[in-house]
Amino acid sequence: MRHFDHVDALHRKHLFFRQPRGFDRHDPPDVLAVALGATLYSPAIRPGLAGDIAKAARRGVTSMVLCLEDAVADGDLAAAEANLVAQLGRLDDTGREPPLLFVRVRTPEQIGDLIVRLGAAAGLVSGFVLPKFTASTGGAFLEAVAEAADRTGLRLLAMPVIESRQAVYRETRTELLQDVARLLAKHRERVLAVRIGATDMSAAYGLRRPPDLTIYDIGPVAGVISDVVNILGRADGTGFVVTGPVWEYFSAGERMFKPQLRQTPFDALSAAPLRQRLITSDMDGLIREVHLDKANGLMGKTVIHPSHVAAVHALSVVTHEEYCDASDIVGESGGGAMASVYANKMNEAKPHRTWAERLMLRAQVFGVAAEGVTFVELLDAAGGR
């Protein structure tokens, strides 16, 4: 797999100063955690699931979650499990490399049972998403993943989801997150990333964010995200990649506020129709939220529609300016400060080093934009039109 691999090679050459590098499910977890990008959720009960996965891969999707939890009605669970097994078997028969596939389960017991039922097709599964994760319930999930991996010889990774009410409510949140941090530290080699369940967090207050606001405008949930990053996303070697919460809109209703995309970058590239389509489908809200995810230390995002993927991936490409800054910082071992190559900021080697190292890893998997290439061009190429 390689990000932007569905884009014509000559066009890619124009877009990138450094091309995205290829990766597969056997790469180190720190690479895969960054490479997840826009993780597309799909109910496991979809009758054309194998075809959906293949089609998503052709559109640039590199990670998917096949959901057996909230996306499936209780009465349909057995049918969804059977469908998942049959569809992955069908996909395995094609011999094609699918995106990174993760199964969101309801119980620890499902993990081992599904791996047995999948047979040879279990090799398509990169891991499991663990819902409503707490220190008291999470240990059983993680042990089930480890047991399934040991029994089959497969490398199976885990992505716990922070979304329980204990994680949301202020009086229990800090203790729960600290307990989760200690539990995840014991299983570090198994944990790929920590996901944030903003829908369940909002439900704890009877809230649902409208499409013209970001999750960071919803105060009670924004506070939870801040604490999750504070405790589970630290850059001191104890933290994990924390992924952005789900964006759940793909069709616009009545707008209350002005569009959140400036007109000038689109006009400069004669892409005004693209801007209008993004606004019409509320994608300007998604773009703003991804920008805020990055600013708050989150990487990648949960999405529920293939049309969201291009925006997340275009914003994940490292800009030429960012790359120049990071290269200067990483190359300076003695500390000190220097003016940016772009002559618009000061780079300090010591305080900015961790930022620069993280950015260089993202540059490996998403590439570095050519000088002068904008987000608009990347979005257009990735499928924004």
Residues 92 and 84: their CA atoms lie apart, in Å, by 12
What gap in Å lies between CA 275 and CA 119, rounded to an integer? Answer: 46
pLDDT score recorded for residue 273? 66
In the prediction, which pLDDT does 283 show? 75
Q: What residues have CB less than 8 Å from 4, skipping those under 6 apart?
A: 12, 15, 16, 20, 60, 313, 367, 381, 382
**What confidence score (pLDDT) does residue 278 get?**
59
- At 254 the pLDDT is 57
Q: Which residues fall within 8 angstroms of residue 207, CB to CB, at 6 or more apart?
A: 218, 220, 221
Q: What is the 3-state secondary structure (H, E, C) of the chain?
A: CCCCCCCCHHHHHHHEEECCCCCCCCCCHHHHHHHCCEEEEEECCCCCHHHHHHHHHHCCCCEEEEECCCCCCHHHHHHHHHHHHHHHHHHHHHCCCCCEEEEECCCHHHHHHHHHHHHHHHHHEEEEEECCCCHHHHHHHHHHHHHHHHHHCCCCEEEEEECCHHHHCHHHHHHHHHHHHHHHHHCHHHECCEEECHHHHHHCCCCCCCCCCCHHHCHHHHHHHHHHHHHHCCCCCCCCCECEEEECCCCCCCCCCCCCCCCHHHHHCCCHHHHHHHHHCCHHHHHHHHHHHHHCCCCCEEECCHHHHHHHHHHHCECHHHHHHHHHHHCCCCCCEEECCCCCCEEECCCCHHHHHHHHHHHHHHCEECCCCCHHHHHHHHHHC
CATH annotation of 22-316: 3.20.20.60
Which pLDDT does position 385 carry in this prediction?
Answer: 44
Backbone angles phi, psi at 338, to 5 degrees: -150, 155
- Contact in structure between 59 and 2 (CB atoms under 8 Å): no
Low-confidence ranges of the chain (pLDDT < 70): 251-282, 384-385
Number of alpha carbons in the 13 Å side-chain half-sphere of residue 150:
7
93's tokens: 């028969």
293 annotated to a ligand binding site: no
What are the tokens at 165?
Answer: 């009410």
Taking the C-alpha atoms of residue 173 and residue 183, their distance in angstroms, rounded to an integer, is: 15
